[in-house]
Amino acid sequence: MVSIKEALDVAQEEYFLAGNSTCAGCGLEIALRWAMKALGANTSLVTPASCLNVVIGLWPKTAPTFPFMNMAFAAGAAAATGVSAAFKAKAYKFPGKVWEKMTTLVFAGDGGTTDIGIQGLSGAAERNSNIIYCCYDNEAYMNTGIQRSSSTPHGAVTTTTPLGKERYKKDLPRIMAAHDIPYVATCSVSEPLDIYEKFKKAKSIEGCKYIQILASCPPGWGISSEDSVEIPRLAVKTGSWILYEIEDGVLKLSKKSKPLLDPSKRVPLIEYLSRQKRFAKLTEKQLVELQRALDHQWEMISSELNCQEDRIR
Ligand SMILES: Cc1ncc(C[n+]2csc(CCOP(=O)(O)OP(=O)(O)O)c2C)c(N)n1
Ligand code: SF4
Ligand SMILES: [Mg+2]
């Protein structure tokens, strides 16, 4: 757990600068800011086509204070594998220099991760490449005008799902955990210290780490920019965005999600959905079905945790 003193100290350090071209209230900016507070200056970023790719900006309006590489859409994880291998080779040749300390980070959108980058990501995970791969999940292709991705939730209106998306959201963190990588975690931009702690942990682990952060997008979600922290917080409180870690195959619910194993502690899902214009076309029947599916998901998690405890005992 981060102490109050450490929290106040980290709040001072900025590696991703203000004054960039993200929309007001953009979740991806909060996500990267807090991830970088944990990773520090010796970080090299790879970013495929996305809003981040654009807001990183051209000199002299460059937002990151650390090295970064803009990469083709499908190639984020593959390029990062190469960067990480180059650092390892340099460290071998020049011991005691900065190369030993470098962290290789991919920060990619949900389109660039759950659809277009998944084969490269799966390959990097299978090889256990020494990278941190972070998907900031704003649940659609936002940069090109809000098209649906496989991470868009059921019922959400996008420009390619004008009546609301029929299919359900792809559960990529669980798919990544099935690759048997050492660390998988979920975060939300409403919980910056949780982001900080999880990136700190990821940095200390050798091998492939995968973190998915729920990142609000005011124009894409149909919310006002001042609600861009409150709405993801509601996602956590309703239990529809579950904060957890899977470390060496062991699932652990994070502080804000653990109490929600008790259904009475969960805020009704409608309080999250009804605040966003993208869910305006959901019918009463769909709402009931979504709440039922969510409750079922929590029952599955509860029995998974019980089985895990029995195994460990
Ligand atoms: C091969 C290829 N196809 C399409 C594009 C156009 N493109 C650029 S960014 C983007 C959307 C990316 O969506 P996502 O990964 O979710 O990131 P976000 O825009 O939401 O930040 C698209 C389709 C591209 N740059 N390269
Ligand atoms: S469109 Fe959405 S993700 Fe892109 S910069 Fe604006 S708020 Fe951020
Ligand atoms: Mg996106």
Ligand 2 atom with least separation from CA of 23 = 6
Q: Is 112 in the pocket of ligand 2 (CB under 6 A)?
A: no
Query: Amino acid letter at 47?
Result: T
Residues 291/239, Cβ–Cβ less than 8 Å: no
- Pocket probe mutation, ligand 1, options 50, 106, 212, 221, max atoms within 8 Å of Cβ: 50
What pLDDT, on a 0 to 100 scale, did the predictor assign at position 11?
75
CA of 226 to the centre of ligand 2 (A): 14
- Write out the DSSP string of 116-129: TTHHHHHHHHHHT-
Q: Is 218 in the pocket of ligand 2 (CB under 6 A)?
A: yes
Say how far apart CA 47 and CA 66 lie, in whole Å: 13
What pLDDT, on a 0 to 100 scale, did the predictor assign at position 68?
94
What pLDDT, on a 0 to 100 scale, did the predictor assign at position 2?
77
What pLDDT, on a 0 to 100 scale, did the predictor assign at position 3?
78
What pLDDT, on a 0 to 100 scale, did the predictor assign at position 55?
83
pTM metric for this prediction: 0.97
Q: Is 142 in the pocket of ligand 2 (CB under 6 A)?
A: yes
Which protein residues touch ligand 1 with a CB less than 6 Å away? Answer: 49-52, 73, 109-112, 138, 141-144, 149
3-state secondary structure of 69: strand
What pLDDT, on a 0 to 100 scale, did the predictor assign at position 159?
98
What pLDDT, on a 0 to 100 scale, did the predictor assign at position 60?
77
Say how far apart CA 223 and CA 179 lie, in whole Å: 35
Q: Is 138 in the pocket of ligand 2 (CB under 6 A)?
A: yes
What pLDDT, on a 0 to 100 scale, did the predictor assign at position 165?
97
Ligand 1 atom with least separation from CA of 140 = 16
Low-confidence ranges of the chain (pLDDT < 70): none
CA of 46 to the centre of ligand 3 (A): 16
First to last CA, the chain: 25
Ligand at shortest distance from the CA of 29: 2
What pLDDT, on a 0 to 100 scale, did the predictor assign at position 18?
86
Q: Is 161 in the pocket of ligand 2 (CB under 6 A)?
A: no
Q: Is 234 in the pocket of ligand 2 (CB under 6 A)?
A: no
- Pocket probe mutation, ligand 2, options 217, 223, 224, 229, max atoms within 8 Å of Cβ: 217
Closest CA to 191 of 248, 287, 146, 258: 258
Residues 2/193, Cβ–Cβ less than 8 Å: yes
CA of 136 to the centre of ligand 3 (A): 7
Tens of pLDDT, residues 55-90: 887 777 788 999 999 999 999 999 999 999 999 999
Say how far apart CA 79 and CA 224 lie, in whole Å: 36
